[in-house]
Structure 1
Amino acid sequence: MTCAELGADLDSLSGIVTAPGACPEGTDIAEITVPCEDGEYALDALWVQRVQADGSYGDPEQLTDDECITPADLATEARREFKTMKITAPVATVQGNPPMIVNVHYPAYTTAAPQDRTVTLLGVPVVIRAEPTEFTWDFDDPHSPAGTTLTTTDPGRPWREGDPTPDHSWVGHTYSRLGTPDQDPGTAVDDKGNTYRTGVTVSLTTTWQGRFRVQGTSTWTDIPGTITTTSTTDPTTVTEARTRLVCDDLEGTSTC
């Protein structure tokens, strides 16, 4: 920061000052900008006014000079901002009308999408982005041989009219066993002899990777570490579908 004669070019500098407002009458503040190279960003000088013993503010003091910084200089601050970023947990869905039936493959999916936050780091506007990279489903199924968890990088997709019947190539789960009534919590038998299990809750843990870029640029820099969020579905019931021999067809005609 310098003082220059009013209306004069910058080559007629009259002196270097240490604080804004210190220019003598007839001169004004002239700012000299540090030239930054490609991939570098200008960081303005840092000034401070200290509180005096009488409660007033002292003269401004310059603590740092103008300088050029790179994404590497912002990395530590970006990581700190990412770690404190509030990420909205995506909705977890297991598709199918309750109650769910054993030996049916139910698609599971989420609508997870990148989430951005704009902050100022070291005086530079920066976009912090959290991207979903991994999904771990816990289907609350301790009785089936396939196990209760599934980890994938695929967010899954819902079944729609005209799609093939969902099979094990889809992100989802098949409940094949319900546990033993009166021994396993939540497992019981209804008055028709059907075994069922209540209070089945599916949870989804989403892992998020961080990246940042200086606002107005297109180059992203990865942030070390990850963040996880957890989503849960409403409790549901899983039951068995038992085969029964009947005498009437779909049109109500008796065949016995």
Structure 2
Amino acid sequence: MRHTWLLAAAMVASSIAPSPEQTSTPPARGGGISGEARGSVIDVVATDVSADGSVHRPRNADGSPASVEYRRMPASICFTGNFPTSQGQVGACRTGEYEGALSVTCAAGQVALDPVFRQSWVNDPDGSIRDVSGWELVNEGDCLTGVDLAPLAEAEFARLVIAPSPITVQPPDGWTLVNVETITYTTPAPQKFATTLLGIPVTIEAVPEDYRWDYGDGSGPVTTTDPGAPFPDQSVSHVYTEEAVATITLGTTWAGRFQITGTDTWTPIAGTARTTSTAPPLTIHEARARLVTEPLD
């Protein structure tokens, strides 16, 4: 990746990474963005904001008040003539300087993230803070791929509410016959969900992988990768051997993948999800032959 100045042709080659011991983990409530630094990687997470809108400083993993916070936000570079003089927050250039946007150029399939700034302060025993520093630029932006978001996508996939696969039974009127093929099938359509990961819009897709049919007569489940089809192209069916009332259930295993909005690349999600569908009770009749004296019309 390379960093570009939108208002000049100069290139910035330096990139400062915070040390791994400078970390902060904010509480779980949402709000502005702050971050946690781990070596050269900075993960942006939510800053704690209470219901009244007041902002609380992030805390360390052990619950103690943190003394440093990281935040992704747009950055600028200041110029005197054609030469860069400094870079930092938007609007921080001095009189006589002009300002250009500091941005990162990413390869196809990647997403550009804003630069990262760091702010530090001193925590007093009474809970107040002092000596709050200005925001210092520590990272000029990053390029993110689907692989970087995969762990977050996996957690989000586990929380999704996937609609169970519908069950269609033929004959369609709630009954069937002993020793006659009873046809079952479902709709194999993937399900898509729009969400955000680290503030980046993504699409998560749940794709049916296999189907576990239980026909409710004690014969044991049947697992297929085939969703079945209606008559006369049926491919999944069952033959009942006794009169009874049975309930057909369908368990569907779903595989997951996700795509960063605006890119063409799908990234697989580890693990699977499972849904269960239940059809209305099915009455199984036995057709018996009878002799009659009158002709049948």
TM-score by length of 1: 0.72
- 1:26 Cα deviation (Å)? 4.8
Choose the corresponding residue for 1:151, options 198, 206, 223: 223
Choose the corresponding residue for 1:79, options 151, 154, 174: 154
Q: Give the corresponding residue for 2:28.
A: none
RMSD: 2.9
Q: Give the corresponding residue for 2:87.
A: 16
Q: Give the corresponding residue for 2:59.
A: none
Contact conserved, 2:252 with 2:276, CA < 8 A, in 1? yes
1:79 alignment partner, SS class: helix
- 1:232 Cα deviation (Å)? 0.6
Relative contact order (alpha carbons < 8 A, sep ≥ 6): 1 or 2 greater? 1
**Gaps in structure 2 of 5+ consecutive residues:** 1-74, 122-126
Contact conserved, 1:91 with 1:112, CA < 8 A, in 2? no
Contact conserved, 2:78 with 2:84, CA < 8 A, in 1? yes
How far does the alpha carbon of each residue in 1:117-169 deviate from its partner, in whole angstroms, 9 at most, with x for none? 12222343222111011011111011xxxx2321111111122xxx37x6xxx
Q: Tell whether 2:219 aligns with 1:173.
A: no
Counterpart residue identity of residue 119, structure 1: T
Q: Give the corresponding residue for 1:243.
A: 289
After superposition, the Cα gap between the structure-2 partners of 1:61 and 1:248, relative to the gap in structure 1 and judged at 3 Å, is farther
- 1:20 Cα deviation (Å)? 3.5
- 1:215 Cα deviation (Å)? 1.7
Contact conserved, 1:3 with 1:13, CA < 8 A, in 2? yes
Counterpart residue identity of residue 196, structure 2: T
Q: Tell whether 2:272 aligns with 1:226.
A: yes
**Gaps in structure 1 of 5+ consecutive residues:** 179-196, 252-256
Contact conserved, 2:109 with 2:263, CA < 8 A, in 1? no
Contact conserved, 1:2 with 1:13, CA < 8 A, in 2? no
Counterpart residue identity of residue 248, structure 1: E
1:1-256 to 2 correspondence within 5 Å? 1-4=75-78, 11-17=82-88, 19-27=89-97, 29-46=99-116, 53=128, 64-96=139-171, 97-142=173-218, 147-159=219-231, 163=232, 170-178=235-243, 197-198=244-245, 200-251=246-297
Contact conserved, 1:49 with 1:58, CA < 8 A, in 2? yes
Bigger-Rg structure (1/2)? 1
After superposition, the Cα gap between the structure-2 partners of 1:237 and 1:50, relative to the gap in structure 1 and judged at 3 Å, is farther
- 1:225 Cα deviation (Å)? 0.9
Q: How many residues align?
A: 215
Output the CA distance in 2 between the equivalents of 1:129 and 1:237.
37
Output the CA distance in 2 between the equivalents of 1:49 and 1:86.
39
Output the CA distance in 2 between the equivalents of 1:216 and 1:230.
33
Percent pairwise identity: 39
After superposition, the Cα gap between the structure-2 partners of 1:28 and 1:244, relative to the gap in structure 1 and judged at 3 Å, is farther
